[in-house]
């Protein structure tokens, strides 16, 4: 009997296991004399974070030419989102290729790469404020609510969906929406959740729960676990991707999270951590050590990636990211289409890109570790499988989704970046009248009247 034997794998296919090792931060001029204990100190990381072009210049000095600093200075000025970048991320950037580097693209704007916003972009593209019954709470899905108890983060992502409310004002955005930011204001959200027996699943985000003091983290966890019908809590944080050492050195915060998880388990309720890695370059030996701490404490970690042009929009990079996340005990859960966010059009990709990537990733690893590729439908339709569109006009870059269990009878449109379309389509998008006609045609082909647009 002939047996099928697979040939040995190419060692290059295991490269996802090769994490950045050693004291890699010493390659940065400002960190050349920083020892491991200091670099792993979360307080030092916070205090040394980059917030201005001048601080960036003082940190990396002559690793890039002066023209890059001029470009970044103008990029900082034009950015809708404030800039804050941890030393960990600064040390993870390849400063020999700053324009191409996937981490730089996410966190440090440069004016030369900016593109005009899509003409159909709205500031709160997901219409979260329309589904906010009390400050700091979004109730869109029947059994789930999103609780936003703060508006700060350890690092600010240029592409943040919630740039309408998160971080300090900027030159571009000087009147950000108000969230509930104090324990007194949180009581209204807790009261609303307690009064709605259908709410079983609560996501605690912001902002970023990394920024909550341990006693505030405990207060929120205890208050929500005490509500009988709440069955699941998800604490959301970008922290493990941008400042993993906090888990290792902020023992009070890590212990507070552990206590909430253990209390939830004892009363039959699930408490997990949701995080946000976008590039395999964000994962180092420090990340692995931090995730091992959470794993040993029984804290389940899921990841939600954003699909970003020049960061993870090719099959090899996305597959490496997924497998590297598995390797450090993080579950690859979602890959989101980049939302229509002000000031970052050069980072968005097309629906077709996501559909193609999903085909490549599926089969590269176990099914339970294969992320869902999702479009969070603009206008408040919620999360839809990216390939579940009712109609996709690839020529003009318009995908039409419906959400019958969220907002029945409505149509939700996602728009591909105009610069990725044909020249003829780009010309059509310059005419408001033709824009309206293209939208109307797409909805009609989806089986709905124009009045059904959310």
End-to-end Cα spacing for the chain: 62
Task: Tell me the domain boundaries of the chain.
Answer: 20-113, 128-388
Cβ burial of 451 (10 Å; 0-12, 13-18, 19+) is exposed
> 3-state class of 370 per DSSP?
coil
Q: What is the rounded distance in angstroms from the CA atom of residue 37 to the CA atom of residue 45?
A: 11
Q: What is the rounded distance in angstroms from the CA atom of residue 182 to the CA atom of residue 148?
A: 11
Q: Kindly indicate the confidence band of residue 174, based on its pLDDT and cuts at 50, 70 and 90.
A: very low
CA 70 from chain center: how many Å?
A: 28
Residue 172 pLDDT > 70: no
Sign of CA dihedral 221, 223, 224, 228: positive
**Own/partner pairs, 314-321, CB within 8 angstroms, 24+ separation:** 314/357, 315/356, 315/357, 315/360, 315/361, 317/102, 317/279, 317/280, 318/357, 318/360, 318/361, 319/360, 319/361, 319/364, 319/365, 320/15, 320/16, 320/280, 321/277, 321/278, 321/279, 321/280
Give the pLDDT score at 206: 83
Q: What is the rounded distance in angstroms from the CA atom of residue 372 to the CA atom of residue 383?
A: 10
Of 38-47, 121-130, 220-229, 365-374, give the lowest mean pLDDT range: 121-130
Give the pLDDT score at 176: 45
Phi, psi for residue 139 in degrees, rounded to 5: -120, 95
Residue 220 near residue 256 (C-beta atoms within 8 A): no
**What is the 3-class SS of 202-238, one letter each residue?**
EEECCCCHHHCCHHHHHHHHHHHHCCCCCCEEEEECC
CATH class of domain segment(s) 128-388: alpha beta
pLDDT, one tens digit per residue, over 25-47 is: 999 999 999 999 999 999 999 99
**What is the 3-class SS of 269-285, one letter each residue?**
CEEEEEECCCCHHHCEH
Enter the DSSP assignment of 85.
B
Q: pTM, whole model, 2 decimals? A: 0.93
pLDDT, one tens digit per residue, over 296-311 is: 999 999 999 999 999 9
pLDDT, one tens digit per residue, over 180-223 is: 678 888 999 999 999 999 999 999 998 899 999 999 999 999 99
Structure-token match 């700091």, residue found: 136
Dmax over Cα atoms in the chain, in whole Å? 74
Helices (H) and strands (E) in the chain, counts: 16, 12
Residue 241 near residue 274 (C-beta atoms within 8 A): no
Residue 163 pLDDT > 80: no
Q: Kindly indicate the confidence band of residue 175, based on its pLDDT and cuts at 50, 70 and 90.
A: very low
> 3-state class of 286 per DSSP?
helix
Q: What is the mean pLDDT of residues 16-33?
A: 98
Cβ burial of 277 (10 Å; 0-12, 13-18, 19+) is buried
Q: In what order do the strands lie in the sheet with 232-236?
A: 137-138, 144-147, 201-204, 232-236, 270-275, 301-307, 331-337, 372-377, 382-385
Q: What is the mean pLDDT of residues 255-278?
A: 98
Total number of residues shown for the chain: 454
> How many other CB atoms are there within 10 angstroms of residue 69's CB atom?
16
């Amino acid at each position: 009997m002939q047996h099928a034997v697979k040939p040995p794998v190419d060692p290059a296919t295991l490269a996802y296991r090769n994490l950045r090792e050693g004291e890699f931060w010493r390659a940065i001029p400002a960190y050349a004399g920083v020892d491991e204990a200091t670099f792993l100190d979360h307080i030092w990381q916070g205090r040394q974070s980059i917030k201005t072009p001048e601080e960036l210049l003082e940190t990396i000095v002559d690793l890039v030419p002066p023209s890059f600093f001029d470009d970044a200075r103008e990029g900082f000025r034009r950015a809708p989102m404030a800039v804050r970048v941890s030393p960990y991320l600064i040390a993870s950037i390849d400063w020999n290729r700053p324009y191409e580097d996937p981490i730089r693209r996410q966190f440090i704007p440069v004016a030369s790469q900016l593109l005009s916003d899509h003409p159909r972009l709205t500031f709160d593209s997901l219409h979260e404020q329309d589904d906010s019954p009390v400050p700091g709470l979004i109730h869109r899905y029947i059994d789930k609510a999103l609780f936003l108890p703060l508006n700060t983060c350890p690092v600010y992502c240029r592409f943040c969906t919630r740039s309408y409310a998160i971080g300090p004002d900027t030159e571009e955005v000087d009147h950000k929406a108000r969230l509930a930011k104090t324990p007194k204001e949180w009581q209204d959200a807790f009261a609303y959740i307690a009064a709605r027996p259908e709410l079983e699943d609560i996501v605690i985000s912001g902002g970023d729960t990394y920024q909550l003091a341990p006693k505030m983290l405990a207060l929120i966890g205890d208050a929500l676990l005490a509500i009988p019908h709440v069955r699941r809590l998800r604490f959301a944080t970008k922290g493990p991707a941008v400042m993993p050492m906090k888990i290792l050195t902020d023992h009070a915060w890590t212990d507070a999270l552990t206590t909430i998880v253990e209390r939830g388990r004892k009363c039959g309720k699930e408490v997990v951590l949701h995080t946000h890695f976008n590039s395999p370059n964000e994962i180092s030996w420090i990340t692995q050590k931090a995730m091992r701490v959470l794993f040993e404490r029984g804290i389940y970690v899921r990841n939600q990636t954003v699909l970003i042009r020049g960061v993870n929009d090719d099959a090899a990079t996305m597959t490496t990211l997924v497998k590297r996340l598995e390797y450090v005990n993080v579950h690859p859960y979602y890959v989101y289409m980049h939302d229509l966010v002000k000031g970052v059009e050069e980072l968005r990709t097309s629906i077709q890109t996501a559909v193609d990537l999903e085909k490549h990733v599926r089969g590269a690893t176990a099914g339970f570790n294969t992320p869902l590729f999702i479009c969070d439908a603009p206008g408040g339709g919620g999360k839809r499988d990216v390939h579940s569109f009712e109609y996709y006009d690839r020529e003009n870059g318009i995908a039409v989704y419906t959400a019958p269990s969220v907002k029945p009878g409505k149509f939700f449109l996602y728009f591909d970046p105009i610069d990725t379309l044909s020249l003829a389509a780009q010309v059509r998008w310059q005419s408001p009248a033709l824009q309206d006609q293209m939208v109307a045609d797409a909805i009609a082909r989806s089986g709905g009247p124009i009045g059904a647009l959310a």
